[in-house]
Structure 1
Amino acid sequence: MNALEITHLHTNIQKNVLGKWLIIGFAQVAKSPKVRQHFERGKELATKHLKIFTDVLLSDDLPAPTLSDTCVTDSTTQTFSDKLMLFHINATTAESIGDYGIAIGASPRRDLTLAYGRLFSEIALYADDGVEMMIEHGWFEQPPMADNRKSLARK
């Protein structure tokens, strides 16, 4: 395994650990059962991805970061709205999709690119479900769009 592949694995482990901590905390305080279930699913995905990345490192006799959930408090007091928490998780999920894509492009190993591709698909579906939930609740606004030149030309 080359140094760049090891770097991407370690980086994606660290980001999944942070994401998992955030999701655990958000799940503890979410008011909506549907939002809470979404966060719990995200925790399961992060746990799965952490195991896969860690196993890849360990199978090549390389050190893997130790994992712990001790950084999450036991608070159940909602500090942020479900809307803000869901937006934040959607944004970090989108960032993870990009990180996995970069890792795919940087790795000549077929086993790693296939693993990243499979995991990429999983989090893309998770992200889509998060966006659908935001749309359903009226929390998602259409971003600014480019002008439709064909439509303008017909006027």
Structure 2
Amino acid sequence: MPERPSITSSEIGVLWITYQQKTMVLRMLDYFIEKADDAEAQKIMADLARDVSPYVDKIKNIFQSEGIPIPVGFTSEDVNIGVPKLYDNGFDIMFLRMVKEISMAMHTVNITMSYREDIILMMRQLTQVTQQCYEQCTRYLLKKGLLTRSPYVSVDNSVEFVKHENYLSGLSPFKEKRTLNTVELAHIYHGIESNVVGMHMIMGFAQCAQEPAVSKYFKNGAELAKSIVKEMSEIMLENDVPVPSPPGGNVTSSTAAPFSDKIMMYCVSLFCSFSLGGNSLGTSFSLRNDLPAKMAIFMKDIFEYAHRGAKLMIKNGWLEEPPQTKKQ
């Protein structure tokens, strides 16, 4: 075998999508770093920008050496750091924490689709950078009182095995629903936490979007996130489990756009993909049959919303096409 094999189709795809996501994050960090009014938050974001930037260049170099066109991704034209703050009260780190959660999942999957040692190493290193940043964001938000822990609950004193199929009940109106187990509760609360951050993000986007159709699309997304939070919260309350309310992440009154409609649409698309994956996991690990049914509805609504967004991006010429295979 050659010292460095040619790049495979899956590796091209892995690097392409990584380039899109990293250039998006770097451009949004340009704005958040400039507007940060907390030195610790600013350092967390600046350190991440410093650590991630070299990997964008590495991907460019690999593409150049393989004769693959370098993606456009997102550039300085997609951010305007001179406008007032669109978000306040710790939203920058709340947003970054969510993005890093998405990145951790992406890098893990990307490793499984890579074969070349240099690309595997790149994804492993990006995973380390991402995990470190995620932990820093979590510690910061907890210290500042801007992140609410999931509920504390009492559990049984002994290990039990399921003795009856009624354990799965939930859809039948004639059978009493059992209380949530801690695995189900974990996924429900995670869904609430993710959608609250997404709702704040998209409300800000709706407030400053340049295209009326894009602004309307974002408003619809905020309503969708709100409805998911409401339904998941009701499930917890039905089980006498309190729903902690994340206190941070306010949207200011500014209507000046710090980001282009293109980058905001891509960001929402990324969050939709993450939400679909999260709901899929929640469905897989929920044993009370009413929960997967609810999550399936959420997934349907999110998929349809994301599909409308893709159409809107195509209409405006914002949806960059991944490298296409040639017909033989």
TM-score (norm 2): 0.44
Other-structure match for 2:239? 60
Say if 1:51 and 1:67 are closer, same or farther in 2 by CA, change over 3 A: farther
| One-letter code aligned to 2:322 | P
Q: Sequence identity, in percent?
A: 34
What CA deviation, in whole Å up to 9, does each residue of 1:86-132 have, x standing for no partner? Answer: 11011101110110011000101111000000111000000000011
Question: Which residue is equivalent to 2:309?
Answer: 130
- 1:47 is matched with which residue? 226
> Does the 8 A contact of 1:5 with 1:103 survive in 2?
yes
- In the TM superposition, residue 74 of structure 1 has moved relative to its aligned partner by 1.2
Matches within 5 A, 1:1-155: 1-66=180-245, 71-145=250-324, 147=325, 151-152=327-328
**Distance in 2 (alpha carbons) for counterparts of 1:74 and 1:105:** 41
Answer whether contact 1:21 1:72 (CA < 8 A) is retained.
Answer: yes
Instruction: Name stretches of at least 5 consecutive residues in structure 1 with no aligned partner.
Output: none
CA distance in 2, matches of 1:87, 1:103: 24
- Ranked by relative contact order (alpha carbons within 8 Å, sequence separation 6 or more), the top structure is 1
Which contiguous aligned blocks of 4+ residues in structure 1 show a shift greater than 4 angstroms? Answer: 67-70
Distance 1:109 1:128 in 2: 29
Q: Deviations over 1:119-154 (max 9, x none)?
A: 110000000000111011111122124x46xx42xx
Q: Whole-Å Cα distance in 2 between the matches of residues 68 and 56 of structure 1?
A: 21
Q: Which whole-Å CA distance do the structure 1 matches of 2:235 and 2:184 have between them?
A: 10
Question: Measured at CA, do residues 69 and 28 of structure 1 come closer, stay the same or move farther in structure 2, by a change above 3 Å?
Answer: farther
Root mean square deviation, CA, Å? 1.5
Q: Provide the rounded CA distance (Å) in 1 between the counterparts of 2:305 and 2:208.
A: 20
User: In 1, Cα distance between the equivalents of 2:265 and 2:217?
Assistant: 9
One-letter identity of the residue aligned with 2:229: L
**What is the rounded CA distance, in whole Å, between the counterparts of 2:195 and 2:277 in structure 1?**
13
Q: What is the one-letter code of the residue matched to 1:62?
A: V
Higher helix proportion = 1
Answer yes or no: is the 8 Å Cα contact 2:184–2:285 preserved in 1: yes
Residues 193 and 246 in structure 2, CA contact (< 8 A), matched pair in contact too: no
What one-letter code is carried by the residue in structure 2 that aligns with 1:9? I
- What secondary structure sits across from 1:108 in the alignment? coil
Tell me, in whole angstroms, the C-alpha distance in 1 between the residues paired with 2:308 and 2:319: 13
Write the deviation string for residues 54-83 of structure 1: whole angstroms up to 9, x where unpaired. Answer: 000000111112266861111111110011
- d(CA) in 2 for partners of 1:76 and 1:88? 18
Moved more, 61-70 or 46-55: 61-70
Aligned partner of residue 233 in structure 2, secondary structure: helix
